[in-house]
């Protein structure tokens, strides 16, 4: 942890209010962000004279719902303009949101929103799925995913630049077109894509089982993802844990960001942080519905377990079952770095809550964890 917790509290506040990214939104939106930044949030008034505890509580909270609503509405506005432009040239699309915003684990007041632009005139499917075997799909065409998505991206880049002339349209990304500023209240990442009907989808007909195919322009190849199954399964576990899974994810993401801003390297993507905490002890996280610091205790315990049990860590799969979470050594080292940061936070928060711990230099992390599990922090 930073030696100056007040610096981390300042960063937490600016990150949650969006003040750190006010230059990426419209002038009106920036004015609103500044006003809310000045007002502050409820968590800032809790745990008086306990800055580490206050940081922990704030880091677990969801972003202001008004901010999230604006993010979704901005993505819809971009989608509507893009649809109109594509309709005019005979390219039919539909849109979905993916990523941290629809899952509600985003940690920034000004978050980039991932908007899938799905070409509905083309799809691929698992050839051994139920619908395929019944002959419910049109015969395969000579067109390829790569050609379809390259064409969609080319038109989308042009249309976005035309429809939002005052905005910055960044086409340098491999998978997404990033648009921000101008009249937009939030940045939006537009991801050209199309549907891929998996074997599970052909049986269930549930959209959560449907995959999307995206293109990496830099590598000139396509990738299949299951973003809605990821969201569904994390939501399921979060419901069992009474909100504890998402609070743990947000906490980890804030701590990771602060460690990086303190100059420490940590390669641990947000998707993989969410995937990791999906596997934590749900009953232990559920205790956090009343004893909020129990979420920090379980987060510390679980990351520490994975730190010391590399085989277990590297056996864990993402919630959608598509791959192992720690599929590179760099990610596993990122987990270990985050575990260390959470250890330090847990110790400091526990000392604020226990006079005995403050007077016991040789107290263990187990002692800290016990205090966190049993401490009730009054609400306002």
- For the stretch 339-379, pLDDT in tens is 999 999 999 999 999 999 999 989 999 999 999 999 999 98
Q: What is the pLDDT of residues 167-218, one digit of tens each?
A: 999 999 999 999 999 999 999 999 999 999 999 999 999 999 999 999 999 9
Question: Could you read off the pLDDT of 124-155 as tens digits, one per residue?
Answer: 999 999 999 999 999 888 899 999 999 999 99
Of the candidates 256, 208, 226, 214, which has an alpha carbon nearest to the alpha carbon of residue 105? 256
Would the pLDDT of 1 be above 80? Answer: no
User: So what's the pLDDT on residue 36?
Assistant: 84
Q: What pLDDT, on a 0 to 100 scale, did the predictor assign at position 140?
A: 81
- Whether residues 73 and 144 share a domain: the answer is yes
Residues 180 and 255 in one domain: no
Dihedral (Cα; 376, 377, 379, 380), 10-degree rounding: 150
Contacts of 343 (CB under 8 A, 6+ apart): 300, 304, 365
Per-residue pLDDT at 141: 83
Query: Do 57 and 85 fall within a single domain?
Result: no
In a domain, 24, yes or no: yes
My answer on whether 36 and 53 are in the same domain is yes
Select from 232, 206, 82 the least CA-distant residue to 153: 82
In a shared domain, residues 245 and 220: no
Q: Are residues 47 and 182 in the same domain?
A: no
Last residue of a domain, one of 225, 256, 285: 225
Copy the structure tokens of residue 146: 């790569």
Question: Per residue in 293-340, pLDDT tens?
Answer: 999 999 999 999 999 999 999 999 999 999 999 999 999 999 999 999
User: Looking at 206, 225, 244, which one is the last position of a domain?
Assistant: 225
d(CA 375, CA 292): 8
Instruction: Using CB atoms within 10 Å of the CB of residue 214, give its burial: 0 to 12 exposed, 13 to 18 middle, 19+ buried.
Output: buried
Q: Which two tokens stand for residue 215?
A: 């293109």
Q: Measured between alpha carbons, how far is residue 371 from residues 154, 180, 303, 316 in Å?
A: 57, 45, 18, 29
Let me know if residue 355 belongs to a domain.
yes
Q: What's the total number of domains in the chain? A: 2
Q: Pick from 65, 71, 99: which is nearest to 193 by CA? A: 99
317 lies in a domain? yes
Burial (CB count within 10 angstroms: exposed 0-12, middle 13-18, buried 19+), residue 107: buried
pTM of the predicted protein model: 0.96
Beta bridge partners of 224: 213
Mean pLDDT over the full length of the chain: 96
SS3 (DSSP) at 143: coil
Asked if 257 and 323 sit in the same domain, the reply is yes
Helices H / strands E in the chain, number of each: 17, 7
Residue 4's pLDDT is: 87
Residue 94: the pLDDT is 98
Q: What is the pLDDT of residue 3?
A: 60
Same domain, yes or no, for 97 and 148?
Answer: yes
Residue 380 belongs to a domain: no
Residue with tokens 């980039």: 112
How far is residue 15's CA from residue 123's CA, in Å, rounded to a whole number?
Answer: 39
Residues 114, 28 within the same domain: no
Pick the last residue of a domain from 225, 242, 260.
Answer: 225
CATH number of the domain that residue 120 is part of: 3.30.460
Asked whether residue 242 falls in the same domain as residue 182, the answer is no
Going from the C-alpha of 26 to that of each of 22, 79, 112, 114, the distances in angstroms are 8, 18, 14, 18
- In the beta sheet, which residues pair with residue 94? 118
266 and 123 both lie in a single domain:
no
Q: Which domain holds residue 162?
A: 66-225
347 in any annotated domain: yes
Q: Could you tell me if residue 379 is inside a domain?
A: no
CA-nearest of 206, 197, 294, 198 to 243 is 294
Whole-number percent of the chain with pLDDT over 90: 95
pLDDT at 2: 45
Give the tokens for residue 133.
């075997």
Cα–Cα distance measured from residue 99 to residue 89, given in angstroms and rounded to the nearest whole number: 29
Largest CA distance in the chain: 75
Q: Residue 262: what pLDDT?
A: 93
Same-domain status, 205 and 117: yes
Q: Are 111 and 178 in contact (CB under 8 A)?
A: no
C-alpha–C-alpha distance, residues 293 and 79, integer Å: 40
């Amino acid at each position: 942890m930073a030696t100056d917790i007040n610096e981390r509290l300042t960063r937490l506040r600016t990150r949650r209010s969006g003040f750190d990214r006010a230059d990426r939104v419209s002038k009106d939106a920036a004015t609103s962000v500044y006003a809310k930044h000045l007002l502050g949030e409820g968590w800032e008034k809790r745990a008086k004279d306990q800055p580490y505890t206050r940081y922990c509580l704030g880091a677990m909270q969801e972003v202001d719902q008004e901010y999230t609503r604006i993010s979704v509405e901005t993505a819809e506005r971009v989608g509507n303009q893009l649809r109109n432009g594509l309709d005019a040239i005979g390219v039919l699309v539909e849109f979905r949101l993916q990523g941290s915003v629809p899952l509600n684990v985003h940690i920034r007041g000004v978050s980039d929103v991932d908007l899938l632009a799905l070409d509905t005139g083309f799809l691929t499917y698992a050839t051994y799925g139920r619908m395929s075997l019944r002959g419910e799909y049109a015969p395969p065409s000579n067109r390829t995913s790569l050609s379809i998505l390259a064409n969609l991206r080319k038109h989308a880049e042009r249309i976005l630049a035309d429809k939002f002339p005052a905005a910055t349209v960044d086409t340098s990304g491999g998978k997404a077109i990033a648009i921000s500023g101008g009249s937009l209240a939030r940045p939006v990442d537009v991801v050209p894509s199309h549907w891929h009907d998996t074997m599970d989808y052909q049986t269930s007909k549930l959209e959560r089982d449907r995959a999307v195919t995206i293109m990496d322009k830099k590598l000139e190849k396509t990738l299949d993802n299951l973003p809605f199954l990821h969201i569904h399964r994390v939501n399921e576990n979060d419901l069992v844990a009474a909100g504890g899974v998402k609070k743990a994810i947000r906490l980890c993401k804030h701590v990771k960001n602060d460690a990086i801003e303190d100059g420490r390297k940590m390669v641990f993507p947000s998707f993989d942080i969410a995937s990791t905490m999906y596997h934590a002890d749900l009953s232990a996280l559920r205790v956090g519905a009343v004893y909020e610091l129990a979420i920090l205790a379980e987060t510390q315990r679980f990351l520490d377990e994975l730190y010391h049990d590399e085989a277990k860590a590297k056996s864990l799969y993402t919630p959608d079952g598509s791959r192992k979470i720690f599929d590179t050594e760099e990610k596993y080292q990122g987990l270990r770095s985050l575990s260390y940061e959470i250890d330090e936070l847990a110790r400091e928060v526990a000392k604020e809550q226990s006079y005995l711990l403050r007077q016991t230099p040789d107290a263990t992390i187990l002692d800290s964890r016990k205090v966190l599990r049993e401490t009730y922090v009054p609400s306002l």
